Amino acid sequence: MKLSIQECVDIDTRQLDLEFQRVPADYAYWSEQYAEAKKSYLLAKANTKSTYARVRLETRETLTMQGERVTEARLDSEVEINAEYADARRSEILSEVEMVRLYGFLEAIKSKREMLISIGAHVRQEMKTI
């Protein structure tokens, strides 16, 4: 079941009880999505680090075998322009962006919860004056 974030953050003031009941389930759903995104990000980050190390070692060996001078700066530059490393880094960046996007959804649901509390207090106050 895939929920839209719009459904989760909209407030139907005519059905406040339903809205209050819905918030924990919506938060749990998007927390799970965030956890999966964080896992993907951490795995991508680990892959980027290992790709960096492997490409660096391979580059050092290749340059040494070719009799070229191997400096740390040269190794770093060679890794940065390596296609495999660039793909790993791109994957890491996209994973981080998705994680941040989902974190924003969680913050929106927290805001909804706060708004519902405020609306509920306002409604109770109005009912006291009737």
Which of 53, 46, 41, 52 has its CA nearest to residue 93?
A: 41
pLDDT confidence of residue 29:
94
Q: d(Cα 79, Cα 116) in Å, to the nearest integer?
A: 52
Assigned token pair, 78: 């060679």
pLDDT confidence of residue 120:
84
pLDDT confidence of residue 77:
95
pLDDT confidence of residue 103:
97
Tens of pLDDT along the chain (130 residues) come to: 677 888 888 888 888 888 889 999 999 999 999 999 999 999 999 999 999 999 999 999 999 999 999 999 999 999 999 999 999 999 999 999 999 999 999 999 999 999 998 988 888 888 888 7
pLDDT confidence of residue 89:
98
